[in-house]
Structure 1
């Protein structure tokens, strides 16, 4: 019984579906916010922070080299987005 609990715990720690869903939600919200017009710089900055948190969580849960590469690419893209958001603010 204890072994089953430990296995479930570690399997849940490796499951990234929840993070992927939240990341998708944040990305959709980011796009919607961009489309609403001017004066959204601060909000876009906050959404970018949330996107970064999800990307970091994906990276910490991943044990695969290919996934780590993708996480690094996502972080790089996010930094570029943050720079653009700063230009809007």
Structure 2
């Protein structure tokens, strides 16, 4: 999935809102929905670009670790099933 905005652009948009630009006008200017703006604000509020990049890296690492855990749990279940079979 290709994103239209990177973290730097999102934070710049949020800073415009902090500077006093009305949300409706901001959303119209950048062609985003109100819901998108509020989701961004919830996720990136008060962050700098470096913070957002670190968050993205941590989210990627967390997803990779979750996948590894799920795969190892499947392996354990398969081994348990193989051991419990009677020959």
Fold in common (TM above 0.5): no
Give the shorter-chain TM-score range. Answer: 0.3 to 0.5
Q: Normalized against structure 1, the TM-score is what? A: 0.32
Q: TM-score, normalised by structure 2?
A: 0.33
